[in-house]
């Protein structure tokens, strides 16, 4: 199966001016370092790590939503599969590869990228109150999705062969053609667990709770049937009591439509409960990746082991709760070698030879686990 999104060696730096040159002659700060991962159709993929590890920067670079002109993708590619058949007709061969049905979102002209945003890849942000317009009713905001969705390809199909039209997954909104937008919205709201749909539709955002608003954002993201949803810590701003409900709605609704989800979170509990695969990020690099069960049951990297040990359990109290000493370094202090070395307890108890490597400028190699070739981590101990 081809991945719907393939991020390859993505490096992002901050500190550029309008001409793409370093601002004030100061070397830009590189915050992510050759980040690579694939997301397959229908998969729930989690990117996990502490604040400041580069998770959100990586996720927002997919649709180039980082502040401009300061943030730039300095290396790597973001290959998106589903849109290629249509977009490949209009852009240069360096950006789109029609043979492999992929298009590089990192290089796509902004006008073309705009067709992908929302229609092909949708976003759910942390704060639903800020994502919605406070002076417009929910009904009007949901209906706006249809106004700004990419045009139905059946309108364009006259210039596409039937074979290519059926291949084209670029928002052929066949259901939108058949059904009234409002009927579809009602159906989706019911699936998201809303009972009093008429009242919800006529409400303004301030009249609904945070959990309800986030479920509306999920409905809004799924209305145009995207191939991928990027959910950037969608439950961080919500009460603990509704977090599980919102994630369950996201998982259920995405799996019904076969939509893949890229979930950004710092919560290993959420990862273990909802994700299929996970990538653990530390200081701008992916340090471990694999199927959730492999990573949770047999974590390879000391950082992943630390994150798992820090999950509070029912019987734990403040005196026995574990934590990882220290904090994530600032990007200006990123080193070439292992960036976790200053906080790594395993390094302290390792042999002199390993300790020397850990403190050197040598980057730890990426090694596969014995029992699973898809479970990998970067550490000298492996
Ligand atoms: S390479 Fe060394 S310092 Fe880095 S995580 Fe592994 S043991 Fe720890």
CA angle 219, 225, 228 (to 5 degrees): 95
Domain with 195, as residue range(s), is 125-225
Q: Do residues 56 and 4 both lie within one domain?
A: yes
Task: Please indicate, yes or no, if residue 39 is contained in any of the structural domains.
Answer: yes
Q: Do residues 47 and 141 both lie within one domain?
A: no
Task: Indicate whether residue 282 lines ligand 1 (CB < 6 A).
Answer: no
Residue 310's pLDDT band (cuts 50, 70, 90):
confident
Query: Looking at ligand 1, which residue's alpha carbon is closest to its atom 3?
Result: 341
Task: Please indicate, yes or no, if residue 315 is contained in any of the structural domains.
Answer: yes
Task: Please indicate, yes or no, if residue 87 is contained in any of the structural domains.
Answer: no
Average pLDDT over all residues of the chain: 85
Q: Do residues 76 and 136 both lie within one domain?
A: no
Q: What is the pLDDT of residue 317?
A: 65
* Domain at 72, CATH number: 3.40.50.300
Task: Please report the atom of ligand 1 found closest to the CA of residue 354.
Answer: 2
Task: Please indicate, yes or no, if residue 243 is contained in any of the structural domains.
Answer: no
User: Is 343's pLDDT higher than 70?
Assistant: yes
User: Is 175's pLDDT higher than 80?
Assistant: no
Q: What is the pLDDT of residue 379?
A: 96
Tell me, in angstroms, the distance from the centre of ligand 1 to residue 273's CA: 28
Task: Indicate whether residue 381 lines ligand 1 (CB < 6 A).
Answer: yes
Q: Do residues 344 and 281 both lie within one domain?
A: yes
CA angle 203, 117, 2 (to 5 degrees): 125
Residue where one domain finishes, among candidates 208, 225, 242: 225
Task: Please indicate, yes or no, if residue 245 is contained in any of the structural domains.
Answer: no
Classify residue 52 by burial, with Cβ atoms within 10 Å: 0-12, 13-18, 19+: middle
Nearest residue to 179 via CA among 225, 216, 116: 225
Residue 376's pLDDT band (cuts 50, 70, 90):
very high
Q: Do residues 57 and 135 both lie within one domain?
A: no
Query: Looking at ligand 1, which residue's alpha carbon is closest to its atom 7?
Result: 347
Q: Do residues 280 and 200 both lie within one domain?
A: no
Q: Do residues 274 and 344 both lie within one domain?
A: yes
Instruction: Give the CA distances from residue 315 to residues 266, 312, 354, in Å, rounded to whole numbers and listed in that order.
Output: 22, 8, 36
Task: Please indicate, yes or no, if residue 234 is contained in any of the structural domains.
Answer: no
Task: Indicate whether residue 306 lines ligand 1 (CB < 6 A).
Answer: no
Give per-residue pLDDT as tens, 214-230.
Answer: 999 999 999 888 999 99
Residue where one domain finishes, among candidates 180, 203, 225: 225
- Strands (E) across 185-311 are located at 228-232, 260-265, 277-282, 285-291
Q: What is the pLDDT of residue 159?
A: 39
Tell me, in angstroms, the distance from the centre of ligand 1 to residue 302's CA: 7
Residue where one domain finishes, among candidates 225, 253, 285: 225
Residue 318's pLDDT band (cuts 50, 70, 90):
low
Number of domains in the chain: 2
Give per-residue pLDDT as tens, 107-150.
Answer: 999 988 988 888 899 999 988 888 999 999 999 999 998 876 65
Task: Please indicate, yes or no, if residue 308 is contained in any of the structural domains.
Answer: yes
Task: Please indicate, yes or no, if residue 240 is contained in any of the structural domains.
Answer: no
Task: Indicate whether residue 292 lines ligand 1 (CB < 6 A).
Answer: no
């Amino acid at each position: 199966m081809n991945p719907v999104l393939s991020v390859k060696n993505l490096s992002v730096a901050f500190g550029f001016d309008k001409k793409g040159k370093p601002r004030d002659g100061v070397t830009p700060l590189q915050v992510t370092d050759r980040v690579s991962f694939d997301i397959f159709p229908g998969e729930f993929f989690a990117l996990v790590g502490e604040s400041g590890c580069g998770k959100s920067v990586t996720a927002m670079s997919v649709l180039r939503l980082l502040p401009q002109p300061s943030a730039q993708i300095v290396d790597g590619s973001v290959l998106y599969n589903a849109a290629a058949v249509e977009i490949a007709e209009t852009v240069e061969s360096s950006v789109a590869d029609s043979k492999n049905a992929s298009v590089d979102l990192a290089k796509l002209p902004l006008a073309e990228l705009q067709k992908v945003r929302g229609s092909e890849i949708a976003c759910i942000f942390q704060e639903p109150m800020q994502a919605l317009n406070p002076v417009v009713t929910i009904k009007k905001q949901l209906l706006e999705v249809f106004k700004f969705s990419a045009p139905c390809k059946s309108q364009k199909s006259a210039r596409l062969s039937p074979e290519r039209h059926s291949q084209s997954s670029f928002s052929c909104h066949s259901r939108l053609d058949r059904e009234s937008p409002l009927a579809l919205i009602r159906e989706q709201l019911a699936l998201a667990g809303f009972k009093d749909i008429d009242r919800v539709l006529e409400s303004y955002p301030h009249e609904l709770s945070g959990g309800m608003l986030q479920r509306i954002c999920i409905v809004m993201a799924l209305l145009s049937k995207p191939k991928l949803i990027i959910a950037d810590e969608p439950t961080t701003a919500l009460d603990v009591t509704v977090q599980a409900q919102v994630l369950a709605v996201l998982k259920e609704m995405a799996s019904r439509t076969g939509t893949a989800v890229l979930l950004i979170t710092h919560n290993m509990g959420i990862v273990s409960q909802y994700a299929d695969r996970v990538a653990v990020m530390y200081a701008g690099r992916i340090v471990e990746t694999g199927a959730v069960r492999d990573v949770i049951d047999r974590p390879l990297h000391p950082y992943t082991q630390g994150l798992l040990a820090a999950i509070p359990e029912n019987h734990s109290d403040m005196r026995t709760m574990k934590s990882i000493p220290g904090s994530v370094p600032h990007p200006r202090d990123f080193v070439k070698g292992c960036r976790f070395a200053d906080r790594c307890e395993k390094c302290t108890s390792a042999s002199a030879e390993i300790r020397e490597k850990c403190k050197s400028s040598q980057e730890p190699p990426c090694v596969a686990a014995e029992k699973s070739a898809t479970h990998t981590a970067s550490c000298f101990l492996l």
